[in-house]
Structure 1
Amino acid sequence: MKAYRPPPIPRELSARITIPSDFPPGVVRWQVANANGTSQTGVFLVGDGREVVENRDGAAPQRIETLPATVSGRLARFEEVDCYEFLCERDSLVTCDLAARRLGSNFMGAIEIRDAQDRVIVDAVDTQGTDASLTFPTAAGNVYRAFVRDLNFRGNRASVYRLALTTGPRVLAAYPAAGRRGSTTGVELVGYGLTSGRWELERVKRTIEFPALTHEPVFDYQFTSESGETARFRFPLSDLPEFIETAAIPRGAATDGVPSDGDPSHSRARLEAPLAITGRLDRVNPSDRYQILGRGGELWRIAVQARAIGSPLDVALAIIDSDGKELATSDDSPGSTDASLEIALPRDGVFELVVSEVSGAAPSPLGLYRLVVERATPDFLLEMPQHINVPTGGQVELPVKAHRTGGFQGAIALNVSELPAGIQLAGPAVIEADQAECKLSLVSAPDAATGASLATVTGIAMLDGRSQTRTARAQAAGNLTPRSLEDLAVDSILIASTLKPVARIRPLETDERTAHRGTMHLAELEIERLDGFSGEVVVQMDSRQPVKFRQGIVGPDIVVPAGVNRVLYPCLVPEVAETVDAYRMLLVAVAQVADSTGRVRHVVSKMKADDASVAVTVEGALLKVTAGASPLRAAPGGTAQIPVRVARSPKLTGSVRLDLKVPSDLEQWIEVEPVVVPLGHSEATLVLRISADAPALGKRLLRIRASALAAASLPRLADAAGATPLDVEALETLRTGFLPTLAEATIELDLGSGR
């Protein structure tokens, strides 16, 4: 299928992870490194409950025996819909939370709940890229089914997800939205079933003791609801006084009184920093105003959090002086729709903070914001990349940026610890006074072995007469829907010692070659060998293709023998390719090289998209195949006949073979023999035999493939199983020394009522 943004080609390795029994639940980030460099971070979630892995072999709904449970699944194919079935033993609420984008899976999910009569109870669709979740009521003794799919019915092996199924009340928001360490605070909780256990948004008040001696940024609060069930909520922790909008006036603060609308929550309070206020906004009440007392020259750091606390609001912030002049505004801060700014107050006086909602949100008890006002004390933050590669015998620059706050402009001494063996820090390691960046020089010894380690970068500076140390942070990849940049922050950098490429790969074709749809184009390549390297080279598709590259073109992994510099690479042009476009793809050359310790490494050289790629202009197909009327019905123990018609170009002078491609989960139930259509004939019949013990499998799409073969001089294929996107049948054809011409058709087979 044509893909203007093609997903990565899977290069998969199996691994076993052992998780200690006392390992805390939450996010674990992981990375890999080899002789070519480092990967971005991935996300792995550790749970503390029952874990279930999707059963991909069955066609019927997968039964989840007990709740709560979390299912790890994958939408591997286009139009795939996963189904999970569970029995509820008592009247309760069930929450389905789909984690996909939080894991780095680039799809927007949809959840649908149906009862035993196949009636839709409730559904949720992720249209904002924030993952879908829902809560619904269940009745004792009833069976329910949860369906999971991509919003656009796409699928890919990288489209993994976790579906958490939990029972009981669900807390959605807290008022105030954060807790002060060491305080005992009255909090209003908002969620489903908090008092009655019913499927209704309800409020309940609790007095919570927030822990004092903890450096954790959050506090997991658990309580028993009035319906007797357990509910949980995760509070952010702070060191600020936490107020709510209707009681946000600290002791001794002055006010302008109750406004004309009679609502005291709209009064303009003169506040003393530091503090935090939780308030509510919607399109009926789109803004709140607060007054702040300040002195000229003071630096203030002000933020309005909404997304960061799970609120649906899109907030903005403005500061106005006593003359009505707008001094500063903020809408979206980096990486978030929340607002933040730092400002030096121009003079003594009262300044008005205006918090507004800009998306027109409907009135809801969940429409919260948290206003944070702090004095910006002299300090600094350090920012660095999350991973970097240092070639053996080479040198690279590691940029470290300083974000200065509160007027701090002093020098910052830098240090890097836990460097890989053979790599050293050379030259100056200081961000000079009044400067924002320093580029550290990392130097690799000529005999450095390949390897990698997680390193830490620290900075030391004098703050208020005392030496203070700060650890540099980086933005990690993996989570595609962070609530704030803090969700992505990590305090280590993966540094890898790498090998230089020993070959270059480029196409010898100077212009676009033409190929028929459904055929293979033999692209001529040159392998330029470097530094005396003469060994074997494996050529394969680059796993990541630029926008508008690949578009359905695939090819195998081939071997270029030792000493050979030119090779023909077979590229399969799909039958659905358009004839009005040029199709391109990038290849890589992989060579085995020993590092300084004698360990054999696989070193990769890539084509460059801007000046070298395989390019094909597409012409019409040489072969067409059509099937009889659909759907085709069959019963267990019976047979079904599929009439097939073949049309071929005069350029094809041999017979055509017909095969039926059955989904892997149906192979044990369906048997079909291939059919050969001789030259001069155009019609044939495929006969399906259904196993007598086959269950009701529902309606499924089957593929009919027609193939015609032409002899050709082809390179040897690599033996790396699972590394190529080319299917098994096409690979086997190439191994026999023939180029296939392919055409496909689909037919729907009805095997009785299924999911």
Structure 2
Amino acid sequence: MPINRVFSVVALLATAFLPTQQVSAQAVPSKEPSSTHIFPAGGRRGTVVPVRIGTEAMPPNANLRFWGDGVRAAELLGDRVRARYEPSTRRPPRDADGAGANMSYPTEWASEFAIAADAPLGVAAWRATCGWGGTRVRPFLIGDLPEHIESESNSTPDRAERVTLPVTINGQIAGERDIDCFVFSASAGQTVIADMFAARIGSLLEPVFELYSADGRRLPAETHRVTDDNVLTFRVPAAGDYVLQIANVSFRGGPEFVYRMTLSNLPRVDTPVENLPHNALLTLPASIPGQFLTASDEDLFRFAAKKDELIAIECRPVSVAMPMVTIEDATGRPLAKASSVESVDRECSLEWRAPADGEYRLRLRDLQYGTRGGPEFAYRLSVHQAQPDFKFSIAADYVNVTQGSRSELDLTVKRFGGFTGPIELAIAGLPDGVSFEPPRIAENQTSLKLVLKAIDDTRPADTTLRISGKAMIANQPAERIANVYSLGDVPAAIANAVQLTVQHKPIFKLTCNEAYQYGHRGTVYPYAMQIERLDGFDGEIHLQLCERQVQDLDGIEVVETLIPPGVTEFKNRVYLPETMHASVQHHCRPYSQAWATFTDKWGQRQSMLSICDKRNMIRTMPTVVKLKSLNDHVAARPGTTVRCQLELDRTPNFNGAMELELIEPAARTGFTAERVRIEPGQTRAEVSVHIADSASCPPDLSLRFRAVGQLREDVIVISEAVVPVRIEP
């Protein structure tokens, strides 16, 4: 149970304390809003799909922007939801890896997508925006197979969820020990295909498949790659049940580790690839598909060129291939080479001028030559005389710019056939008050920062931008649209477009004195913080734990607090769990965030969020009291009452009263108990738990109790104990 539920009345404490040690500041978590996932990541035509949308640094009442023919969605994100996930294994906490890295604790919001029966199969897209900014565009897949939504816990074969083929399975590897198991029936001789979508929908998951027989034997299966995702193919040896197990290769997990997998006995459709004979002579222009079928496979082609002839060579990977191209003379001496790893779009390309009339060779290998190969290592080679031309690309499909400020987009130019001229830039869709610079790409320039500037009085809004470039090539005007990199496929309506959000100026700033203080584990510690109210904003503000941290929280929480209008100083209540790893985490450094809503000068209702620029620095001390169970276990069954014996192990630092209550299982599941008060100085209590006739009693059932007391006027002490339950027949 979240610690926030302990506090039914939100109060602002007004006590003082002395900071003991000033500390140096460190990098603050990134402040721009972002999306992390959507679950499920798709839906079936003709259905209404409840979804959970994951975000960070996004306040309530955010806008939901959606693109997709035949799909309807609400214009605002719904209520915050807390799904029940597989718990992660307790382990020593760690700091975020690398400078500027964040630990992610995304918030999930409810929404609902209505998919028409005739909606086009393929992909829709969405993003979230607010007065604080907008997120990148993410895909939502539209299918026509039956859908299955996994439910926890299905981490062992005996709890595997049964599915009927063909089916699309939607799942999350939501905890560090989470494994998803599904059982299906198949007939002898059938070919079963599991097509995994993870990287293709922007998930952090790196899935690992394992297939088992009904008696637990691991079975061999063929694995192919489609871009960065796996496709598993399995020929069924005998009729019966089979268990498919899915995990993450790194054993990491979280709500954002989503996947969408089609499990079917439908035939796999491969794009046919025709390989020319080895060392074939090409007639230019030539376009050739190919494959590196084995780890030692390489392809060799010949072509003729005249002295000073400029030849363009492009090798585009079709799937997981990372091709390298080498130009050689007739004796095999290398003359030029290029690799796909040198390009953002993984396209291997070069232009080469022939030093003399003659025949030359192209040698193609994969970057993983000698270690990996297969039919999925496919490419398309293009060889032709270079013609003057250009294309340019932008690495992000969204940008936020604040009123009175500026933002940048990285623009990369590729020039071909000796074209070196200037390129005039234009942006369609710019709102009033927003301009860009520079207006052109200079001669020979191959990269630049495209700057968007908003004046102070720009109206906050979302809009779609299309960026184009014009140039004179061979005395003829040529126009090219910028290629914009998106997360997977996107609908044509927003392909190669940049989503702009004009952000409202900040209306408040959250801060604190970053100095170490001391608090006991197992308490809620009041940490003094301040709010700087800006531009006359005087409304209420909601405080909560930041969704981005630079250190594992290790169970630390912030009690959500309502800061009344006009208040500028308050106490942030930080829960220090008694289970913190004292040996490695003797201090905590959580960041907090706060949000507010207001109406801007244009009459638009806005939601704003601010992440504190400093940490709450608390060195932890030992617990002052510990709640313990005197029962190794209790025996129970539905329709009975069990009596649990509990004891407080007090230290000299705490002799006060405590309120004892049952917090898990929840009362709505059929488990109820009256609160028990343990008086000052007392140590033992008995709690009677009634189990309803309709209560569900899983084999691993346990009862969790929580004791709450007052250490000081401003410090609450909390301890919990678990009593295992043995279910009787």
Q: TM-score, normalised by structure 2?
A: 0.74
Given that 1:34 and 1:450 are in contact with CA atoms closer than 8 Å, whether structure 2 keeps it comes out as no
Query: Counterparts of 2:728 and 2:497 in 1: how far apart (Å)?
Result: 55
**Residues 500-539 of structure 1 aligned to structure 2 (within 5 Å):** 500-509=505-514, 511-539=515-543
Query: Counterparts of 2:171 and 2:601 in 1: how far apart (Å)?
Result: 42
Tell me by how many angstroms 1:106 deviates: 1.9
Residues 37-60 of structure 1: CA distance to partner in whole angstroms, max 9, x if unpaired?
A: 111222211212222333569999
Q: What is the SS of the residue equivalent to 1:588?
A: strand
1:168 correspondence with 2:290: no
Query: Counterparts of 2:170 and 2:685 in 1: how far apart (Å)?
Result: 43
Query: Counterparts of 1:529 and 1:473 in 2: how far apart (Å)?
Result: 42
1:50 correspondence with 2:173: no
Give the structure 2 partner of residue 432 of structure 1: 442
1:9 correspondence with 2:105: yes
Q: What is the SS of the residue equivalent to 2:469?
A: strand
Give the structure 1 partner of residue 574 of structure 2: 571
Given that 1:314 and 1:337 are in contact with CA atoms closer than 8 Å, whether structure 2 keeps it comes out as no
Report the AA paired with residue 117 of structure 2.
Answer: S
Bigger relative contact order (CA 8 A; separation at least 6): 2
**Residues 540-579 of structure 1 aligned to structure 2 (within 5 Å):** 540-545=544-549, 547-548=550-551, 550-574=553-577, 575-579=579-583
Given that 2:291 and 2:379 are in contact with CA atoms closer than 8 Å, whether structure 1 keeps it comes out as yes
Report the AA paired with residue 471 of structure 1.
Answer: I
Query: Counterparts of 2:227 and 2:110 in 1: how far apart (Å)?
Result: 29
Give the structure 2 partner of residue 584 of structure 1: 589
Name structure 2 gaps, 5 residues minimum: 1-89, 97-101
Give the structure 1 partner of residue 499 of structure 2: 494
Given that 1:304 and 1:338 are in contact with CA atoms closer than 8 Å, whether structure 2 keeps it comes out as no
Residues 16-45 of structure 1: CA distance to partner in whole angstroms, max 9, x if unpaired?
A: 223343333223332122211111222211
Alpha-carbon distance change, 151 to 326 in structure 1, aligned in 2, over 3 angstroms: closer
Query: Counterparts of 2:347 and 2:684 in 1: how far apart (Å)?
Result: 68
Alpha-carbon distance change, 131 to 433 in structure 1, aligned in 2, over 3 angstroms: closer
Given that 1:319 and 1:354 are in contact with CA atoms closer than 8 Å, whether structure 2 keeps it comes out as yes
**Residues 290-439 of structure 1 aligned to structure 2 (within 5 Å):** 290-304=301-315, 308-311=317-320, 315-322=323-330, 324-334=332-342, 340-348=348-356, 349-357=358-366, 359=368, 366=375, 368-370=377-379, 372-375=381-384, 376-384=386-394, 385-394=396-405, 396=407, 400-420=411-431, 422-425=432-435, 429-437=439-447
Of residues 13, 21, 28, the one that matches 2:124 is 28
1:102 correspondence with 2:200: yes
Report the AA paired with residue 528 of structure 2.
Answer: E
Given that 1:500 and 1:603 are in contact with CA atoms closer than 8 Å, whether structure 2 keeps it comes out as no
Give the structure 1 partner of residue 651 of structure 2: 649
Q: What is the SS of the residue equivalent to 1:449?
A: coil
Bigger Cα displacement from structure 2, 92-101 vs 403-412 = 92-101
Give the structure 2 partner of residue 596 of structure 1: 601
Report the AA paired with residue 621 of structure 1.
Answer: T
**Residues 141-290 of structure 1 aligned to structure 2 (within 5 Å):** 142-151=240-249, 154-171=252-269, 174-176=271-273, 243-244=274-275, 247-248=276-277, 265=278, 267=279, 269=281, 272-283=284-295, 285-290=296-301
Alpha-carbon distance change, 744 to 136 in structure 1, aligned in 2, over 3 angstroms: farther
Alpha-carbon distance change, 443 to 361 in structure 1, aligned in 2, over 3 angstroms: closer
Q: What is the SS of the residue equivalent to 1:170?
A: coil
Bigger Cα displacement from structure 2, 136-145 vs 598-607 = 136-145
Query: Counterparts of 1:77 and 1:629 in 2: how far apart (Å)?
Result: 30
1:742 correspondence with 2:718: yes
Residues 513-538 of structure 1: CA distance to partner in whole angstroms, max 9, x if unpaired?
A: 22222222222112122233333333
Give the structure 2 partner of residue 449 of structure 1: 459
Q: What is the SS of the residue equivalent to 1:618?
A: strand
State the number of aligned residues. Answer: 625
Tell me by how many angstroms 1:364 deviates: 6.7
Query: Counterparts of 2:566 and 2:615 in 1: how far apart (Å)?
Result: 23
Given that 2:557 and 2:576 are in contact with CA atoms closer than 8 Å, whether structure 1 keeps it comes out as yes
Report the AA paired with residue 398 of structure 2.
Answer: H
Given that 2:323 and 2:379 are in contact with CA atoms closer than 8 Å, whether structure 1 keeps it comes out as no
Report the AA paired with residue 169 of structure 1.
Answer: P
- Provide the identity percentage: 24
Residues 306-349 of structure 1: CA distance to partner in whole angstroms, max 9, x if unpaired?
A: xx4335x6654333334554333344525779671313224123
Query: Counterparts of 2:221 and 2:246 in 1: how far apart (Å)?
Result: 10
Report the AA paired with residue 708 of structure 1.
Answer: G
1:474 correspondence with 2:478: no
Given that 1:427 and 1:440 are in contact with CA atoms closer than 8 Å, whether structure 2 keeps it comes out as yes
Name structure 1 gaps, 5 residues minimum: 177-242, 249-264, 714-738
1:19 correspondence with 2:110: no
Alpha-carbon distance change, 79 to 680 in structure 1, aligned in 2, over 3 angstroms: farther
Residues 671-709 of structure 1: CA distance to partner in whole angstroms, max 9, x if unpaired?
A: 555555555555556665555556673435664544433
Q: What is the SS of the residue equivalent to 1:102?
A: helix
Bigger Cα displacement from structure 2, 29-38 vs 590-599 = 590-599
Query: Counterparts of 1:286 and 1:89 in 2: how far apart (Å)?
Result: 36
Given that 2:224 and 2:376 are in contact with CA atoms closer than 8 Å, whether structure 1 keeps it comes out as no
Query: Counterparts of 1:361 and 1:588 in 2: how far apart (Å)?
Result: 51
Query: Counterparts of 1:62 and 1:543 in 2: how far apart (Å)?
Result: 32
Given that 1:276 and 1:373 are in contact with CA atoms closer than 8 Å, whether structure 2 keeps it comes out as yes
Q: CA RMSD in A?
A: 4.2
Alpha-carbon distance change, 695 to 120 in structure 1, aligned in 2, over 3 angstroms: farther
Q: What is the SS of the residue equivalent to 2:112?
A: coil
Given that 1:505 and 1:589 are in contact with CA atoms closer than 8 Å, whether structure 2 keeps it comes out as yes
Query: Counterparts of 1:681 and 1:160 in 2: how far apart (Å)?
Result: 49
Given that 1:36 and 1:498 are in contact with CA atoms closer than 8 Å, whether structure 2 keeps it comes out as yes
Given that 1:647 and 1:682 are in contact with CA atoms closer than 8 Å, whether structure 2 keeps it comes out as yes
